[in-house]
Amino acid sequence: MRSRSLAATFRRRPKTVDGDNIVTAFDLNRGALAPVPDEVDLVELPSTGAIPRELAGTLLRNGPNPLRGRFDGNDVLSWWPEAAMLHAIAFADGRATRYRNRWARTRRWADVHAPAQAPHLPDTNPNVNVLLHAGELLALAEGGAPFAITPELDSLGSPLRHAGFGGGMTAHPKVDPLTGELIAFRADWRAPWLRYGVADAQGVQRVDIAVDVPAPSMMHDLAITATHSLLLDLNVGYDFSMLKQGHRMPLRWHDDRQARIGVIPRHGGDVRWFGITPCFIQHVVNAYDRDEACIVLDVVRYPWYLRLDANTGRFAENPVGVLWRYVIDTATGRVDEGPLADGGIEMPRINERQTGRDYRYLYAVEQPTNAEMRGVVRFDHERRVTTRYEVPTDDQNSEPVFVPRPGGIDEDDGWLLVMVYRAAKDTSDLVILDARAIQAGPVATVHLPRRVPAGFHGAWVPGAR
């Protein structure tokens, strides 16, 4: 995410109460989010259980890691803008063959480690997500330019096949599994506030249009169906007066904003806006066309987010996100909405073969409280069954990345790869779960000798190396 809800995963100091607001102080340099000081290469990692031989490829993860190895402050803005560090764990022949971590070789990196190179390197900080599209592996920034890398984490620099997105795009573009198209947006606090774009299966941008919105708002994710794209214009927007009050990021909840879902034909056309109840949505689960006049959109929804107390100038503690469904009748304009489950979740993932299509299963991190990301949950929409992989108190885990079994047909035939931070040892395990039976515990666990910071998002790149 560039996910502010991840702020909740910080190891906490005692809370203090300031008026009606609960103010929480964090120590970014301890616990699951703490950075690592250097780059390492490890081979033949120890494991327990049986690593599936069909699991051949590399798990990549991305997140902020200060170039000098320590965060300077203890708030969200001391954390998420820091330099992109990528982590890679490679699998082949039933073994975890290699772990490697590298900072992206951007201008920011060179300013500290190789000043002579700095003018020649891209000025972006791709620390949010990783995406393989059109044969190009991209580290993605929150609105900034994508950055090409190899699965071995060598930096290639500005993308060659996705040059059309050099001006920046969301870290959560969607790829249509049938057409291979990439669908994205770019939100900015400077005009134009919102652009929408589509690249073909070769990465060439074919659609690039400005979308008219009344004011800039915080947009992190979008959804697609087989025919349309869905943009989220919600209640967290800009308030530049906050800069005078000492805030570095002028974003807050606005009661007076109308939350809306914008529905635009895949390749451009009029945007139709559908009003919804006030909310903020960090991450989309999936969307699909139920029929030609009905769209289903599943998300992780917050009833409010970044609520600022005007008297104290402090943010209230955010609630947890809940799995939520919108059913949009595009003929009548009616939107029905409501929760699909109780309990806090975040970082939802699906079998990406179902992106934009009707789907049955989703996987997510559990948030027992907004201070924890602990446990993995699987929802089966068809049977309305929820199963869990529980993670011990004090440990924390990353998002569950779904890896399909090669040649598998069933939607849930595959594995979930989850990084679990072991607080007692200050190390991380890579847990491999059978996606069909996560409650049974790991089929295998790879033991890393040191921490992999929780970071934001990751991806699986198939192919043994």
Give residue 289's identity as a one-letter amino acid code.
Answer: D
Q: Which is nearer to Fe ion, 1 or 328 (CB)?
A: 1
Q: Which is nearer to Fe ion, 181 or 221 (CB)?
A: 221
- Nearest approach, Cβ of residue 292 and Fe ion (Å): 31
Smallest CA-to-CA distance from 255 within 237, 269, 240 is with 237
378-397 residues in contact with Fe ion (CB under 5 A) are none
Place of tokens 């011990």: 392
Q: Which is nearer to Fe ion, 140 or 433 (CB)?
A: 140
- Spatial contact of 363 and 416, defined as CB atoms under 8 Å apart: yes
- Interaction of residue 1 with Fe ion, rule CB under 5 A: yes
Q: Which is nearer to Fe ion, 1 or 322 (CB)?
A: 1
Question: What H or E segment, with its residue span, contains residue 58?
Answer: strand 57-64
The Cα–Cα gap between 12 and 15 comes to 8
Sign of the alpha-carbon torsion through 379, 382, 384, 385: negative
Q: Which is nearer to Fe ion, 66 or 348 (CB)?
A: 348
Q: Which is nearer to Fe ion, 45 or 281 (CB)?
A: 281
Would you give the end-to-end CA distance of the chain in angstroms? 28
DSSP string computed for 269-321: -PPEEEE--S-EEEEEEEEEEEETTEEEEEEEEES--SPBPTTT--BPPP---
- Nearest approach, Cβ of residue 458 and Fe ion (Å): 11
Site string for Fe ion, 58-77 (x = CB under 5 A): --------------------
Ramachandran sector of residue 351 (left: φ over 0; alpha: ψ -120 to 50; beta: rest): beta
- Nearest approach, Cβ of residue 306 and Fe ion (Å): 15
- Nearest approach, Cβ of residue 316 and Fe ion (Å): 22
Q: Which is nearer to Fe ion, 55 or 365 (CB)?
A: 365
Q: Which is nearer to Fe ion, 61 or 98 (CB)?
A: 61
- Nearest approach, Cβ of residue 220 and Fe ion (Å): 6
- Nearest approach, Cβ of residue 417 and Fe ion (Å): 17
Structure tokens belonging to residue 257: 């904003």
2-61 residues in contact with Fe ion (CB under 5 A) are 3
Place of tokens 């000025």: 123
- Nearest approach, Cβ of residue 313 and Fe ion (Å): 27
Using alpha carbons only, what angle is made at residue 379 by residues 414 and 222, rounded to the nearest 5 degrees? Answer: 85
Q: Which is nearer to Fe ion, 1 or 433 (CB)?
A: 1
The Cα–Cα gap between 224 and 357 comes to 9
Name the one range near Fe ion by CB under 5 A: 1-9, 33-41, 308-316, 359-367.
Answer: 1-9
- Nearest approach, Cβ of residue 437 and Fe ion (Å): 27
Checking 69-73 for CB contacts under 8 A at 24+ apart, the result is 69/35, 69/36, 69/37, 69/38, 70/29, 70/35, 70/37, 71/28, 71/29, 71/34, 71/35, 73/28
Task: Enumerate the β-bridge partners of residue 413.
Answer: none
| Total interface residues for Fe ion by CB under 5 A | 2
- Interaction of residue 222 with Fe ion, rule CB under 5 A: no
Q: Which is nearer to Fe ion, 33 or 56 (CB)?
A: 33
288-307 residues in contact with Fe ion (CB under 5 A) are none
- Nearest approach, Cβ of residue 459 and Fe ion (Å): 12
- Interaction of residue 377 with Fe ion, rule CB under 5 A: no
The alpha carbon of residue 453 and the mean position of all alpha carbons in its chain are separated, in whole angstroms, by: 15
Residue nearest to Fe ion (CB): 1
Pairing label, strands 223-224, 182-187: unpaired
- Nearest approach, Cβ of residue 18 and Fe ion (Å): 29
Chain positions contacting Fe ion, by CB under 5 A: 1, 3
